[in-house]
Structure 1
């Protein structure tokens, strides 16, 4: 840069940064260093850039530490939320089953009442018919008796002469009056019984209509309960199906294998054998209830399968992803690298059996776990191994510590997932469970 331009720049900056001199005194001489305005400006600029870079890097590290530290808590909260969701659904299922059973009991009582009222109606009708028949028989007998009596009296009157004829007429009139009184009394009693039977029939009709209305309301409530349960189960099952499919696993095959190991029936999941709609609709309700119970059973099987497949991360925070799955420098990097300080706890992401816990070239201290459904996991570069070969571990168990052993450029965990012996991207399982847990 020409000296003329430097002098002009220094003259411009001198208003804010006047020239400074730093004196250095020794025993024999005194010297000084001249700090021109441009030099001071460069020093201040470089210092400001260094300070700004330090602030940015510190902020990034602080934010990364906060987000990583909350990862374990998020995983625990997600797991607790999933279990609470299943428990709430189970309680709702039990409550709906209890309501359905109570409705079935009430309907059965209503049917019994209808049956008793029908029996009373039949009995009343039968008594009415018997009374009508009895009245007809009484009237016929009375007419026959009166005819015979009149004939006998006429014969007696003829035998006794004319004086007895008047007495016969008087007696005959008295008998007729007595007969009329008897018939009036019998007809009055019959009418009263008929009125009682009619009122009983009307009451039975009204009660039958009321019972029919209650039955329709019970049927509608029953349908509402089934619809609610079916919707809740469908909403809960969809994310689980999607999770296993996104992880490349066949849900039907997984459920089949889980069901073989957890067979047996009984308890609250026994099929419902009664219906509030009567015997005619029993099969329809039983099919719907059976479908709901089957879905709940599948959900429980999924819950078991989740613990047996590596959907969880082996580290619970305080780490960062440094190397993805794929080819690197011409060679396959068969897993992902999770960088963090030496000594971080490594946890089993699923239930399984330890098949290797040893030193292996390249991996350093390595642990291998065999899970169900042909899935296995590998944990490399560990500083310490805390399990033994043949040991069974559960999801979340502490199996080792992160380290820097083997071919490693810094402390981290090398994490692999293998299906049928072939390595796959662990992020397939991790991302598949992101929207579920």
Structure 2
């Protein structure tokens, strides 16, 4: 028996979907198909669902097409901006290279000038010592001459006394004319020698005064050169120290490690000296010169360490930064996963360069990474270059910063042509952009300081 609910439902359906018959007539027979209200309801619902699906699918396709167009336009704009930025960075790099070369030339010229000033200073001090010795000899001769003159005066007085005593009337004897004439000639000669000695002494004192003035000018020039060298050392060392600290690298231990690796010597270390006296206590100029030499050594150690750390970008062509370090939505599965590097998308075959000196520890296929290059650097640092289309180095090969090691590709677990670049410190992944940005900020700061110094 039909229930009351079924009867009520059928009555409602009859109101909206009355029963219909579809007649099918042939030459010999006529048949019909009965369309009940429930059948019509199912047919209507199915047709409505198909129409709704078609509308939604069409809307999705239109939205996707519009979004794809906007995304492509945005990608083109980003690529143009990135290309302009790369061109600007290239110009800045070239200008920094020229400024560094000019600074090196100025530094070499300053060192040559310091060396010339040191030679002049040594010669001046030698001449001063000779003049002091000459003055002492002249003064000694003058004292001896004055003593001889005084003795001659005493002897002349004694002879005059004896002559007066012998004559009794105050007239000199006939034989007394010879010694008196001789003593007069000796006194005149002595006075002439005394005047010459006094003139020579005055000349020597004038020369000594001139040498002291020249020596003071040399000291002033040396002081100016020292100030320029000290300022140049400060400008050169401070940014490199900041670059290492920005990357979270302990500068003290790194410099000590580099110093131990470059500690070979071929002879005793002697102090820089500006004098021929050989005093044990260093002068102020010696201390300043030794300090500059120590800063030059520190600058050289920083440069060696910078070459051995990945302070550079692995790509120099126009690329797009598509993914950074950290958690992200996985491009394959859509889940949230950790991304241990940075992705740079570009065209197939784009050159990839080593970011620091090191040794290749892996050059081949690895699951997920595709064609992978791993380079081991100093200070426990390791860099990885994944998804390559071609590898140009071999395992065990030593490479330098800027060497072409591979070409960009789409191998391994990848959705498109790009470079996956990793930096690991003691096996732990770190953000590669820390090193790239640290070097970039330091170079920009050096450029600004050089421009400010040139303006002054």
Report the Cα offset of residue 235 of structure 1.
1.5
| Residue of structure 2 aligned with 1:404, choices 407, 410, 416 | 410
Aligned 8 A contact 2:358 2:378 in 1: yes
| Separation in structure 2 between the aligned mates of residue 337 and residue 295 of structure 1, nearest angstrom | 39
Equivalent position SS for 1:436: helix
Task: Indicate conservation of the 8 Å contact 1:367/1:385, yes or no.
Answer: yes
SS at match of 1:382: strand
Name 2:21's counterpart in structure 1.
none
Candidates 378, 381, 384, aligned match of 2:387: 381
Q: 1:255 to 1:97 in 2, by over 3 A?
A: farther
- Report the more deviating stretch, 68-77 or 358-367: 68-77
* DSSP-derived class of the 1:390 partner: coil
- The gaps in structure 1 that reach 5 residues or longer are 1-49, 155-168
Structure 1 residues 256, 355: closer, same or farther in 2, change over 3 A? same
The alpha-carbon distance between structure 1 residues 280 and 187, as it changes in their structure 2 partners (threshold 3 A), is farther
Q: CA deviation at 1:310?
A: 0.6
Displacement after TM superposition at 1:264 (Å):
4.0
**Are 1:391 and 2:397 an aligned pair?**
yes
Matches within 5 A, 1:263-302: 263-264=263-264, 271-275=271-275, 282-302=282-302
The whole-number CA distance in structure 2 between the counterparts of 1:210 and 1:74 is 50
Q: Say whether residues 1:93 and 2:111 are aligned partners.
A: yes
**Cα drift, residue 126 of structure 1:** 1.5
Structure 2 match to 1:303 = 303
**More divergent stretch after superposition (238-247 vs 108-117):** 108-117
Q: Tell me the CA shift for residue 172 of structure 1.
A: 4.4
Distance apart, 1:406 and its partner CA: 1.4
Q: Is 1:313 equivalent to 2:310 in the alignment?
A: no
**For 1:305-338, what per-residue CA distance to the aligned partner results, in whole angstroms no more than 9, with x for missing partners?**
2211111111112101110111114322111000
Matching residue of 2:377: 371
In 1, Cα distance between the equivalents of 2:170 and 2:303? 104
Q: Aligned to 2:440, what secondary structure does the other structure show?
A: coil
Aligned residue in 2 for 1:37: none
Give a deviation string over 1:174-226, Cα, whole Å, max 9, x none. 55666654554443333323322332332233233222222222222222222
Residues 356 and 77 of structure 1: is their aligned pair in 2 closer, same or farther, counting only changes over 3 Å? farther
1:53–1:311 distance in 2 versus 1, CA, 3 Å:
closer
Looking at structure 2, the residues matched to 122 and 254 of structure 1 have their Cα atoms a distance apart, in angstroms, of: 63
Q: 2:213: which partner in 1?
A: 213
Cα distance change of structure 1 residues 211 and 409 upon mapping to structure 2, 3 Å threshold: same
Q: CA deviation at 1:436?
A: 3.3
Alignment check: 8 A CA contact 2:164 2:172 kept: no
Q: Distance in 1 between matches of 2:173 and 2:293?
A: 85
Query: Once superposed, what is the RMSD of the aligned Cα atoms?
Result: 3.3
1:53, 1:411 → 2: CA distance?
18
Cα distance, 1:88 vs structure 2: 3.4
Matched, 1:224 2:224: yes
Task: Note closer, same or farther for the CA distance 1:89–1:188 as it changes in structure 2 (3 Å cut).
Answer: closer
The answer to whether structure 1 residue 121 and structure 2 residue 139 are counterparts is yes
Alignment partner, residue 257 of structure 1: 257
Give me the whole-angstrom Cα distance separating, in 1, the residues matched to 2:81 and 2:225. Answer: 48
After superposition, the C-alpha distances for 1:249-278 in whole angstroms (9 at most, x for unaligned) are 1222222111222224579x9742224999
Give yes or no for contact 1:222–1:276 (8 Å, CA) kept in 2: no
SS in structure 1 at match of 2:412: coil
SS at match of 1:413: strand
Structure 2: gaps (5+ residues): 1-67, 330-335, 444-456
Conservation of the 8 A alpha-carbon contact between 1:219 and 1:276: no
Q: Is contact 1:72–1:317 with CA below 8 Å preserved after alignment? A: no
- Aligned residue runs from structure 1 range 73-152, under 5 A: 74-75=92-93, 78-79=96-97, 81-141=99-159, 143-144=161-162, 146=163, 149-150=166-167
- The 1-side partners of 2:364 and 2:128 are apart by 73
**Structure 2: distance between partners of 1:61 and 1:264:** 50
Paired residue for 2:40?
A: none
Q: Paired residue for 1:5?
A: none
- Determine which structure has greater relative contact order: mean sequence separation of CA pairs < 8 Å that are 6+ residues apart, divided by chain length: 1
* TM-score normalised by length of structure 2: 0.72
Q: Secondary structure at the match of 1:328?
A: strand
Aligned to 1:414: 420
Alignment of 1:33-48 (within 5 A): none
**What is the CA-CA distance between 1:81 and the residue it aligns to?**
4.1
Which residue of structure 1 lines up, in the alignment, with residue 430 of structure 2? 424
Q: Deviations over 1:98-126 (max 9, x none)?
A: 22232222232222123212212221222
**1 CA distance for matches of 2:74 and 2:410?**
28
Cα distance in 2 for partners of 1:72, 1:200 equals 69
Q: Which residue of 1 aligns with 2:55?
A: none
1:20-49 deviation digits (Å, cap 9, x = unpaired): xxxxxxxxxxxxxxxxxxxxxxxxxxxxxx
Change (3 A) 1:74 1:358: farther
Provide the rounded CA distance (Å) in 2 between the counterparts of 1:171 and 1:138: 15
Compute the TM-score of the two structures, normalised by the length of structure 1.
Answer: 0.75
Distance 1:266 1:221 in 2: 33
Aligned residues: 370
